[in-house]
Amino acid sequence: MSGIKTITELQELFSSQLAEYSFPQVPSALYEPMEYIMSIGGKRIRPVLLLAAYNLYKEEVAVAFEGGLALEVFHNFTLLHDDIMDAAEIRRGQPTVHIKYDENKAILTGDVMMIYAYQLLEKYSDYYLPLCKVFTQTSREVCEGQSMDMEFETTDSVTISDYLKMIEYKTSVLIAAALKMGGILAGAPEQDLKHLYEFGKNLGIAFQIQDDLLDTFGTEEQLGKKIGGDIEQKKKTYLYLKSLELLNESQANRLRSIFLDQNLDMDDALVAEVKELLQISHVKVHAEELKLVYQQLSLSHLSAIQVPDEQKIPLQELAHSLLNRTV
Amino acid sequence: MSGIKTITELQELFSSQLAEYSFPQVPSALYEPMEYIMSIGGKRIRPVLLLAAYNLYKEEVAVAFEGGLALEVFHNFTLLHDDIMDAAEIRRGQPTVHIKYDENKAILTGDVMMIYAYQLLEKYSDYYLPLCKVFTQTSREVCEGQSMDMEFETTDSVTISDYLKMIEYKTSVLIAAALKMGGILAGAPEQDLKHLYEFGKNLGIAFQIQDDLLDTFGTEEQLGKKIGGDIEQKKKTYLYLKSLELLNESQANRLRSIFLDQNLDMDDALVAEVKELLQISHVKVHAEELKLVYQQLSLSHLSAIQVPDEQKIPLQELAHSLLNRTV
């Protein structure tokens, strides 16, 4: 097939279609915040993954635009509500919706965006049920992941397995669903749909582990945002949980007491102490190994997809670029 | 057809199926608030309307349970989020979800309920697309109605037509959708689906006008809640908007100034003054006439449905009981 587009071409195609797209306008109090959040950018990773998966089987990727848009609208709905829950004031360098407008508008506009995503999928009447089945199950899991993430803040007994399930739900399943939905839209065989999903799911988990690593051991340029936020917020990431296993008893007790004492505010000295403990534990090597396990699993599913290897190059390159913001 | 059930029988059937139904449990922080709000009652009007419409064509109404449940879950999702927006602390005599749990849980549990409603409809794979088309469009309109309602609080230039559109969207379309979805599930002909929808839509508008009337001119027993709330909250209902047309200039200016002066808090004397102005305007007669117009329109659509008249008795009785909480 000659019509394989590069990731850059897919990004440009999606952006140009989005620029032409007319969102609903009335009532403006409801739809203006939607237009605002959709206009301030983001990397459009989910729509591009959907288009790239579609392009494995079919050339006319412009047809799949509304599928990609549904995912992007859904993703931005989760950001609107997450930003309220986290009391976040800045998103992509701009004020969050509940700051720029107000909290009630951020709730209600988020709601209508969730609903609008389903309406966008109506274009694909032949595939509507299978598309929605994936989309609905995934959306539920995203909420479950967000709920687990919030619960972890006040739970002392989070396990590594809990943590991996949380990042799978909060982040990875939507990546996985994007790829699978692209395959469904293109009429891909059932076996390929499974591999597309698993490719995305494991890619997402590897990416999140890398994100955790960069947050502690990386630079601001690599991460694209301020370093050390996870430690400051006492996030119970893999790095923290695995360190508790690796450190000796007194070190582990010290680390645990810093994280679990709700009255202890993190200052620079405490952040530095935590970072030192994580370094002593050599958890970085373990996290890199774990990332590699998911990365290899991910690529093995990409290999198993029944299309010629040269057509997979854009997805390979995208995976490579996502997983190589060097630690 | 011998299998026509009374409204009471449909209510009991839905309640007993709901009592047997297992909602998702894990993570409990996400699903416990859902179980809570679903368990504290309500009249289950929307599921019963869906079942009654289904029962016009088919006997085995138990099959339609998940359709009714989807509507009830959706309706309760709107209550969770509306109660946050309105800072309401009590719902059906119990603490609202954001009070009993917290606001973040009320947002996130609301989100997952919205999504869960779509999942419930997956049972009906043969009718999934037409069901979702009605459900999605209706859900969007409910959000639009809520947005308009919030905007009216700070807008001076609300018209009667704006107000009627707002109550249509915020309240009536979900009643209409319940009836239409019941018809879709039963394979009703397209013409009947339109009449079911219009029956419900106009019934809902008539009901809301009656609700406004009772809030000002009724008793607590009739309304089922405290009288006078609309005036206290300076709600720009039909009564207020039409009175401005009916009163002489100085009376209208006085009424307008009470409602539009944001710094003027409503005390008992002001509430009494507004009530007096509404009485002088004779708006009650106009509102009763308007209610009757929608009521007759509603019943004309019920008449037009192509099933034997005796099968429509339960829906007639339900309409009658909803529209005769005597003013």
Q: pLDDT digit string (tens) for B152-167?
A: 999 999 999 999 999 9
pLDDT at B219: 85
CA distance A325 to A206: 12
Q: How far is CA B139 from CA A117, A200, A287, in A?
A: 12, 31, 44
Task: Please provide the size of chain A in residues.
Answer: 327
pLDDT at B264: 92
Domain span at residue B135 reads 1-186
pLDDT at A2: 62
pLDDT at B227: 85
Q: How far is CA A75 from CA A100, A170, B14, B242, B307, in A?
A: 19, 11, 35, 43, 45
Q: Tell me: the pLDDT tens digits for A168-211?
A: 999 999 999 999 999 999 999 999 999 999 999 999 999 999 99
The whole-angstrom distance between A78's CA and the closest CA on chain B is 9
Please judge whether A136 and B122 are an interchain contact, meaning their C-beta atoms are less than 8 angstroms apart. Answer: yes
Q: H/E/C letters for each residue in B128-184? A: HHHHHHHHHHHHHHHHHHHHHHHHHCCCCCCCHHHHHHHHHHHHHHHHHHHHHHHHH
Number of independent structural domains in chain A: 1
Residue A92 vs residue B169, higher pLDDT = B169
Residue B95's DSSP bridge partners are B90
Q: Are residues B231 and B211 in the same domain?
A: yes
pLDDT at B1: 55
> For residue A166, which residues of chain B lie inside 8 Å, CB to CB?
none
The whole-angstrom distance between A288's CA and the closest CA on chain B is 29
Q: Are residues B254 and B199 in the same domain?
A: yes
CA distance A189 to A51: 17
- Single residue among B155, B186, B217 that ends a domain in this structure: B186
Q: Tell me: the pLDDT tens digits for A96-109?
A: 999 999 999 999 99
Predicted confidence band of residue B177 (pLDDT cuts 50, 70, 90): very high
Q: Choose the mutation target among B28, B66, B104 for the interface with A, i.e. most A CBs under 10 Å.
A: B104
Q: A47 phi and psi, to 5 degrees?
A: -60, -40
DSSP A254-302: HHHHHHH-TT----HHHHHHHHHHHHHTTHHHHHHHHHHHHHHHHHHHH
Residue A22 lies in a domain: no
Q: Are residues B180 and B235 in the same domain?
A: no
Q: Are residues B169 and B30 in the same domain?
A: yes
Please judge whether B115 and A110 are an interchain contact, meaning their C-beta atoms are less than 8 angstroms apart. Answer: no
Q: Are residues B174 and B204 in the same domain?
A: no
CB–CB contacts below 8 A, A to B: 105
pLDDT at A101: 98
Q: Tell me: the pLDDT tens digits for A263-313?
A: 999 999 999 999 999 999 999 999 999 999 999 999 999 999 999 999 999
CA distance A89 to B191: 51
Q: How far is CA A226 from CA A211, A223, A229, B149, in A?
A: 12, 7, 7, 41
> For residue A136, which residues of chain B lie inside 8 Å, CB to CB?
115, 118-119, 122
Q: Collect all residues from A whose CB is shorter than 8 A from any CB in B.
A: 26-27, 29-30, 81, 84-85, 104, 107-108, 110-112, 114-116, 118-119, 122, 125, 128-129, 132-133, 136-137, 139-140, 143-144, 146-148, 150-151
Please judge whether B108 and A81 are an interchain contact, meaning their C-beta atoms are less than 8 angstroms apart. Answer: yes
Please judge whether A108 and B30 are an interchain contact, meaning their C-beta atoms are less than 8 angstroms apart. Answer: no
Q: Are residues B137 and B159 in the same domain?
A: yes
Q: In terms of DSSP H, where are the helices of B21-102?
A: 28-39, 45-55, 65-85, 97-100
Domain of residue B242, CATH code: 1.10.600.10
Mean of pLDDT values over B267-295: 97
Residue A257 lies in a domain: yes
> For residue B114, which residues of chain A lie inside 8 Å, CB to CB?
111, 114-115
pLDDT at B326: 59
Q: What element of type H or E holds A190?
A: helix A190-217
pLDDT at A326: 60
Q: Tell me: the pLDDT tens digits for B22-42?
A: 999 999 999 999 999 999 988
Q: A94: helix, coil or strand?
A: strand
- Single residue among B156, B186, B216 that ends a domain in this structure: B186
CA distance A215 to A160: 18
CA distance B73 to B70: 5
With contact defined as beta carbons under 8 Å apart, do A259 and A240 qualify?
Answer: yes
Residue B221 vs residue A215, higher pLDDT = A215
Residue A292 lies in a domain: yes
Computed over every residue of chain B, the mean pLDDT equals 96
The whole-angstrom distance between B103's CA and the closest CA on chain A is 8
Q: Tell me: the pLDDT tens digits for A112-131?
A: 999 999 999 999 999 999 99
Q: Choose the mutation target among A25, A124, A129, A161 for the interface with B, i.e. most B CBs under 10 Å.
A: A129
Q: Are residues B156 and B202 in the same domain?
A: no
CA distance B41 to B108: 21
pLDDT at B327: 47
> For residue B115, which residues of chain A lie inside 8 Å, CB to CB?
114, 136, 139-140, 143
Residue A309 lies in a domain: yes
Q: How far is CA B233 from CA B66, B282, B325, in A?
A: 37, 21, 23
Identify the CA nearest to A183 among candidates A316, A20, A53, A276.
Answer: A53
- Single residue among B140, B165, B186 that ends a domain in this structure: B186
Q: Are residues B166 and B59 in the same domain?
A: yes
Task: Please tell me whether the interface predicted TM-score (ipTM) of this complex is above 0.85.
Answer: yes
Q: Are residues B133 and B54 in the same domain?
A: yes
Contacts for A231 with CB less than 8 Å, ≥ 6 apart: A215, A216, A266, A271, A274, A275
- Count of CB atoms within 10 A of residue B177's CB? 29
CB-nearest to B85 from A30, A81, A108 is A108
Does residue B2 surpass a pLDDT of 70? no
Computed over every residue of chain A, the mean pLDDT equals 96
Predicted confidence band of residue A222 (pLDDT cuts 50, 70, 90): confident
With contact defined as beta carbons under 8 Å apart, do A180 and A193 qualify?
Answer: yes
Q: Tell me: the pLDDT tens digits for B94-149?
A: 999 999 999 999 999 999 999 999 999 999 999 999 999 999 999 999 999 999 99
DSSP A24-79: --SSHHHHHHHHHHHHS----HHHHHHHHHHHTT-S-GGGGHHHHHHHHHHHHHHH
Residue A304 lies in a domain: yes
pLDDT at B221: 79
> For residue A106, which residues of chain B lie inside 8 Å, CB to CB?
none
Q: Are residues B11 and B138 in the same domain?
A: yes
CA distance B56 to A174: 41
CA distance A74 to A90: 19
Q: Are residues B94 and B155 in the same domain?
A: yes
pLDDT at A227: 85
Mean of pLDDT values over B40-69: 96
Helix axes B128-152, B65-85, angle to 10 degrees: 20
Predicted confidence band of residue B224 (pLDDT cuts 50, 70, 90): confident
Residue A220 lies in a domain: yes
Q: Could you tell me the two tokens for B106?
A: 């009320």
Q: Choose the mutation target among A102, A112, A116 for the interface with B, i.e. most B CBs under 10 Å.
A: A112
Q: How far is CA A3 from CA A50, A55, A57, A185, B16, in A?
A: 16, 8, 10, 17, 57
Contacts for B259 with CB less than 8 Å, ≥ 6 apart: B234, B236, B240, B274
Helix axes A45-55, A173-185, angle to 10 degrees: 40
Identify the CA nearest to B282 among candidates B247, B258, B254.
Answer: B247
Identify the CA nearest to B298 among candidates B201, B157, B214.
Answer: B201
CB-nearest to B125 from A81, A129, A137 is A129
Q: A2: helix, coil or strand?
A: coil
Please judge whether A129 and B112 are an interchain contact, meaning their C-beta atoms are less than 8 angstroms apart. Answer: no
Q: Tell me: the pLDDT tens digits for A34-92?
A: 999 999 988 999 999 999 999 999 999 999 999 999 999 999 999 999 999 999 999 98
Q: Are residues B131 and B23 in the same domain?
A: yes
Does residue B16 surpass a pLDDT of 50? yes
Longest dimension (CA), chain B: 62
